[in-house]
Copies of this chain bind each other. A is one copy, B any other.
Amino acid sequence: MMTEVEIKTASEQTRMRLLDAAREVFSEHSFQGATVREICRRAEANVAAVNYHFGSKDGLLAEALNFAQLAALQKANVKADECPKIRLRLFLRDFMLMLLDEKNPSSQCRIMARELADPTPALDKIVREAIAPLHEFLGKLVREIVSDKVGEAELRRCVHSIVGQCLFYRHSHPVLQRLHPKLRYDRKEIEAIGEHIAEFSLAGIKHLDKVSRS
């Protein structure tokens, strides 16, 4: 005899498997390129399961996106009692690991990175729940580093410069593979990239700060 919890879980298990499979497939192909059938096949579920559980392919994407890890990263970073430069370094290392490390189970950021360019019904949610907070977080962090003389527009561009560098490695992955076939994104390489972006960006930020003051 099954307990109610077990029954719930049994019913929830398919749901979970679908979400996992969806994250996998959406991060490999684009939203358009992914097919409901492939997702259901990997989740060992019926073709109709997606529509049954999530209403539509769009609904599945919306639910598959869960930015808890990204939010946790920011939260943890804010708590860290370090100077802002060190916190930027730490954040960039973790963020790049999240974006590039295949072993990292959090593929939401990889999906997010894919969908940026191709407006999906889910894009509004992505922007609202993940990207806007991320930009805000980075904006505050940079603001801690620079003086008030740096204008909002310039500050925003600094954030864009940082985010742009990070996303580039994820977004242009197929290109980089062709340009440098030997390159492997192991943990060491990813950390080196994070470190590079931090150094590069901190120098850029400081320079712009200095220019603004004068």
Contact = CB atoms under 8 A, between A and B. Distances in A.
Nearest to A180: B156
A200 B166 CA distance: 15
A53 interface: no
**Count of identical protomers in the assembly:** 4
A135 interface: yes
A202 to B, nearest CB: 8
A33 interface: yes
A72 interface: no
A45 interface: no
A123 to B, nearest CB: 6
A83 B160 CA distance: 27
Chain A contact surface mostly = helix
A180 B163 CA distance: 15
Contacts of A160: 165, 168-169, 176
Given A33-B32, A154-B196, A196-B161, A174 B119 contact: yes
Given A32-B32, A196-B161, A131 B201 contact: no
A208 B200 CA distance: 7
A75 interface: no
Q: Which 9 A-B pairs have the closest CB atoms?
A: A164-B168, A203-B207, A200-B204, A164-B165, A157-B196, A127-B178, A203-B203, A203-B204, A164-B164
